[in-house]
Amino acid sequence: MKLVDIQPAIGSVIASLAVTDLRERTYLATYPGMISIGAARGVTNDVKFHQLATLVYGWMPRVVRIDPLYTSAAVDTLGAALWVTDASYKSIPVKRISDCLHSVVGASKLLHFANPDVFPIWDSNIEVFRKKPDSDITSVSQYMDYVGEVHSIRRETGFHEFYIEFCSAYSARLATNGVPTYSIGHVRAIEAAVFELAP
């Protein structure tokens, strides 16, 4: 996946500013609140993990399943994930969170809301867009490959211009749908662009 692959998302957002699906509008409206809770640095304990996991699963079609056998390791991993950068994210044992939630997709969302500048959201729609023949959304290593692709796009020549244009279109969509405008980071812009183009 390269910058050229997600460029058409700008035109797609502009062409369909109004959102009629209430679930999609809810995603738009709740995103900044989710980030403010998830990325708050401080004490990371079972309570924060449970709260964030429950919030995250509000964005998913299934009920959260927190496995107590893995909660302690997942809490420690979440605490560490709050502080990593795009240079050190590979040190995070994502499997500890995915084991606890029984979902790599759930883990990706929890990690995104904890550290939105580093971890993108991942799901089956994104994998369809990436056109990986061996796609497996239960694979932590494939999620980490996707994280690497997102950060590679951030470093491409022309990304800054794409980011400004995409954010402008995204803000217009928020305003059109009566959602107070807010800024999104590089990682969210890329992930949102991919989701916009996913079949």
pLDDT values of the chain reduced to their tens digit, one per residue, 199 residues = 999 999 999 999 999 999 999 999 999 999 999 898 887 777 678 888 998 999 889 888 888 999 999 999 999 999 999 999 999 999 999 999 999 999 999 999 999 999 999 999 999 889 989 888 788 889 999 999 999 999 999 999 999 999 999 999 999 999 999 999 999 999 999 999 999 998 7
Token pair recorded at residue 129: 């867009």
Taking a C-beta distance cutoff of 8 angstroms, is the pair 185, 191 a contact? no
The three state secondary structure string of 182-193 is: CCCCHHHHHHHH
Query: Residues of 83-100 as b/e, b for ≥16 C-beta within 10 angstroms?
Result: ebebeebeebbbbbbbbb
Taking a C-beta distance cutoff of 8 angstroms, is the pair 113, 35 a contact? yes
Secondary-structure breakdown of the chain: helix, strand, coil percentages, each rounded to the nearest 5: 65, 0, 35
Q: Is 133 helix (H, G, I), strand (E, B) or coil?
A: coil
d(CA 191, CA 181) in angstroms, rounded, equals: 18
d(CA 176, CA 153) in angstroms, rounded, equals: 28
Closest CA to 6 of 120, 138, 135, 103: 120
d(CA 50, CA 67) in angstroms, rounded, equals: 11
Distances from the Cα of 66 to the Cαs of 36, 51, 90, 95, in angstroms?
A: 22, 11, 24, 14
193 alpha-carbon distance from chain centroid: 11
